[in-house]
Amino acid sequence: MSINHPSPRGWFFIIPSPIGKGEVPREHPFAMDRIIIFANGELPDLTKARGLLHDDDYIICADGGTRHALAMGVRPGLVVGDMDSIGQVNWRELEKTGVPVEIFPRDKNETDLELAIKRAIELQPGHLVVIAALGGRIDQLLGNIALLTDPRLSAFDVRFDDGVEELFICRDQAQVHGRSGDLVSLIPWGDPVRGIQTQGLKWMLSNETLYSEKTRGISNEMLHETALIRISSGNLLVVHIRNS
């Protein structure tokens, strides 16, 4: 099958091979606790990104994100997208190892990452980590971040992480795990975020409101290994930048 002319939306499976590390059979979709999605953004530090992986992760790649997984020696459990950025070399590797692929038309309403997240939601993991969702085109970056506000994701612990920076939406309460000196920015996404309370940050907020047109929440600092954030309403984008 040529990747230059993808088939209409639907499943097809390359010749199957035995289930490998990080994979679950499709007839047992609830067997995983955590799903890793590889997007097609940038990875500033491959070693730090590799450190995010667990042995029992189920791996989904969004089209060109396959390159990151293969560069880490990780075999995807599933690849999703229109296959316009995967590349011939990576495609041949998928064929050789028998990775299942779901192909969509190029003319579609969703990005490949949105399709991958939708697939992950259907599998109902306890945790979802998206690697390489940052960097590159600014429109793609903003669109990726906006995906975090999908109400369907409120039932999961969902984070964008590349080993250096971590992003997630706080809807009620959340913890940031790092070390003293790490930067934490709190950014209202859309409407004002009210009732913000923080613990473990240098500049504490106590039942306060942040507004999207103001930059008050930028560049706070962690005092300990854990910071706690609580809000009463809104979507609060939390950006955690690890201190190298």
Rounded to 5°, angle at Cα 177 from 199 and 209: 40
Residues 63 and 130 in one domain: yes
Number of domains in the chain: 2
pLDDT, residue 244, reads 76
What pTM, to 2 d.p., does this model score? 0.86
Instruction: Mark which of 105, 138, 163 sits at the end of a domain.
Output: 163
Given a cut of 80, whether residue 216 has pLDDT beyond it is yes
Owner of token pair 């064929």: 95
Residues 158 and 176 in one domain: no
Residues 47 and 121 in one domain: yes
Given a cut of 90, whether residue 30 has pLDDT beyond it is no
Residues 185 and 114 in one domain: no
Q: Which two tokens stand for residue 215?
A: 């930059």
Residues 132 and 176 in one domain: no
Name 10's Cβ contacts closer than 8 Å, sequence gap at least 6: 102, 103
Residues 39 and 101 in one domain: yes
pLDDT tens readout for residues 68-118: 999 999 999 999 999 998 989 999 999 899 999 999 999 999 999 999 999
Residues 103 and 57 in one domain: yes
Residues 69 and 169 in one domain: no
Instruction: Mark which of 104, 131, 163 sits at the end of a domain.
Output: 163
Domain that holds residue 61: 1-163
Domain CATH for 9:
3.40.50.10240
Cβ pair 50, 141 in contact under 8 A: no
Q: In degrees rounded to 5, what are phi and psi of residue 142?
A: -65, -40
Residues 213 and 141 in one domain: no
Residues 190 and 144 in one domain: no
Residue 142, classified by CB atoms within 10 Å of its CB into exposed (0-12), middle (13-18) or buried (19+), is: exposed
Residues 1 and 116 in one domain: yes
Residue 205, classified by CB atoms within 10 Å of its CB into exposed (0-12), middle (13-18) or buried (19+), is: buried
Q: Distances in Å between the alpha carbon of 239 and those of 95, 190, 193, 219?
A: 37, 16, 15, 9
Nearest CA to 59 among 36, 40, 39?
36
Instruction: Mark which of 114, 136, 163 sits at the end of a domain.
Output: 163
pLDDT tens readout for residues 49-69: 999 999 999 999 999 999 999
Given a cut of 70, whether residue 28 has pLDDT beyond it is no
Residues 49 and 152 in one domain: yes
Domain CATH for 216:
2.60.120.320
